[in-house]
Amino acid sequence: MRKGFGRLTAMLLALVMLVSLFPTLALAAEPVVADSVYRNGNIYTVDEAFSTATALAIKGDRLIYVGGEAGVDAFIGPNTKVTDLGGKTVIPGLIESHMHINGLGESLLIIDAFWKPKDVILEAVKAEAEKAEPGAWIQGRGWMNTVWENTDYPTKEELDAVAPNNPVYLTRADGHMCWVNSKAFELAGITKDTPDPQGGEYLKTEDGELLGCVTDTAMYPISGLIPGFSIEQKREALLLAQEQLFSYGLTSAMNAGTSVEYLNEVYKPLYENGSLKLRSYLLISLSSLESPEAEYLRTTKPEGGFYDNHMDVRSVKLFSDGSLGARSAAMLEDYSDRAGHTGNNRFTDEQMYELVKLAYDNGYQMGSHAIGDAANHQLLDCYEKVMAENPREDPRLRIEHFQILTLDDIQRAIDMGVLPSMQTTHATSDMLMAEDRIGTERIKGAYAWRTIIDKGSIILNGTDAPVELVNPYHSLYAAVTRKSRLGEPPEGWHPDQCMTREEALRSYTSWGAYGEFNEDLKGTLEVGKLADFVVLDRDYMTCPEEDIKDIQALLTVSGGEVVYTRDTSTPAVIWNGLPLTFNSKPITEPGAIYVPLNDTVNGIGAAVVAGKEATVTLNDKSVTLPVKTVDGVDYVGVRALFEGLGRNVTWYAGSNSVSIGWLK
């Protein structure tokens, strides 16, 4: 009796909701039937109570039921597609709250230098130069000197040696420094006597010569010479980025800097022809009062919900300073590792105020980049001034990065209702140099997630891709552990600032939606909201902490449409959060997975002595194990190999993947 009553109640509640969403249904005599149903799942709704469910029902692009197994039966008709989740975990579609969507896509069209050794990058430049026409530009992105054996900034002479006849422009991972050769300086007319512009610097050697590294606004005279991508290439890049985002379960992304041209020539046509399905929150780039973007803000109202809730244009991006890694973040006091240097404010106080005022007075939200404590202080002063001059209800002004602040300014921002948009992997990347840059006292106000949340604020999380890898599970892992993907330091870097797993998930879902004014539309799995969700291969809330970074998305659904399905036909081995690359496919046998020996030892940086048996050595640990030869390729058992090296090995059946953990 009670079971039947519960099903009837669920049906009536859903009908009331549906009538409000779809008034024409009020005339229908038959019960509402779902287009699709997902059942027998472990569903984290991320609603206010962080409740769980086992079933979802979808009609159109909306959820019409979220609850238990018995209640969902009422929505199943003869044509309803029913998917048995088999107990797998479901979370809301993830929201990337700060990245460069077009930048991620375009980075896939040039040299991938992401965190690679310097000699590998130079070899890639050499290879490009050997096939390029003389004078053609060679581009790349992603180098990070702090992960090199010699952490000094690189030199132009190193590039001259491998590309003497081609200008080279390699962007540092943070996007606030470039590494160029002499040819690039020559074409731009830059010499050792060229003065630094406001907000940028030409780094010099001790004897006053150009080093080869350039920061922020000083990059413009060089980057302005590089032929831009064509409109077709830009569209291709955007779709490549979408493909990557969907593969991680990201259904929404904020683009931190969009030109009017990109908006009109790239985004809109792709939405109009139906090929772009990613939900985007576009921040209009603003760098001067005379730009096309400034005119756009004066003549166009902030709006959202374009293309069936796929595009919002109601926020503005401007830069206050550079980056900590490039020592161009604007600091109130000298850098601890560079006396007499405080970084670079991109604008004077008056210039910054005028830009903020233009956007704010025209009704736009601000999403302004600020890394250093001086840049954050300047920005808060401007926000405070425009809000006092022209009070607006619920402006939700944001600061992008919100990385280093005085404790007083953290409190001031929270009191003002300013939303911190932070990238948790920045902390685990920057920990390699952050305290060298700013010392132990200022670090108390840096990457201070726990402090911010405990003071009553929320955090909008993202990756700043292509500055970092766009993988959201790396971010969730960093938020929960404050460790690198290598598990360092073992106790976490300033672990008192960790988030809980629930907080970290909210930072990628409900909090991210709030930062876009879309909390009534997405970010949680609740009746009436968009049917955006991702099916995972493991339980994010209960899996081993070290395995969070290895989570694999199995299925991504956006507005009820399946936009990504993982191919699980071939086993994957996840090492330090990334899948190992094999030239020959792994072999699966009952109860065992075998991986190519040479590809594996090369991928993990181990040494091997091979014969009928193989002895593999990594970090002073060795294991000897039998070798299986198939079609001329030597294979070893993945569990025997890694457990022999002292690592935890966990197989996740849903994704047919193996997570390799830290030393036991």
- Cα distances (angstroms) measured from residue 648 to each of 228, 643, 659: 47, 6, 8
pLDDT of residue 664: 59
- Asked if 31 and 74 touch (Cβ cutoff 8 Å), the reply is yes
HSE toward the beta carbon, residue 295, CA cutoff 13 A: 5
- Asked if 526 and 519 touch (Cβ cutoff 8 Å), the reply is no
pLDDT of residue 109: 87
Buried b / exposed e along 128-165 (16+ C-beta atoms within 10 A): bbeeeeeeebbbbbbbbbbebeeeebbbbebbeebbee
First to last CA, the chain: 53
- Tell me the two tokens of residue 402: 């919100």
The residues pairing with 56 across neighbouring beta strands, listed in sequence order, are: 38, 66
- Tell me the two tokens of residue 146: 């702090």
The residues pairing with 214 across neighbouring beta strands, listed in sequence order, are: 178, 202
* Distance (Å, whole) CA 177 – CA 475: 23
* Distance (Å, whole) CA 43 – CA 56: 9
pLDDT means per 10 residues in the chain (664 residues)? 36 46 42 94 98 98 97 97 98 98 91 89 95 93 89 96 96 91 96 94 96 95 93 96 98 98 98 98 98 98 97 97 94 97 96 98 98 98 98 97 98 98 97 96 97 98 95 98 95 98 98 98 98 98 96 98 97 94 92 94 92 92 95 96 95 95 76
Q: Dihedral of the CA atoms 604, 471, 549, 532 (nearest 10)?
A: -150
- Tell me the two tokens of residue 655: 């994704």
* Distance (Å, whole) CA 456 – CA 87: 35
The residues pairing with 460 across neighbouring beta strands, listed in sequence order, are: 421
Model pTM score: 0.88
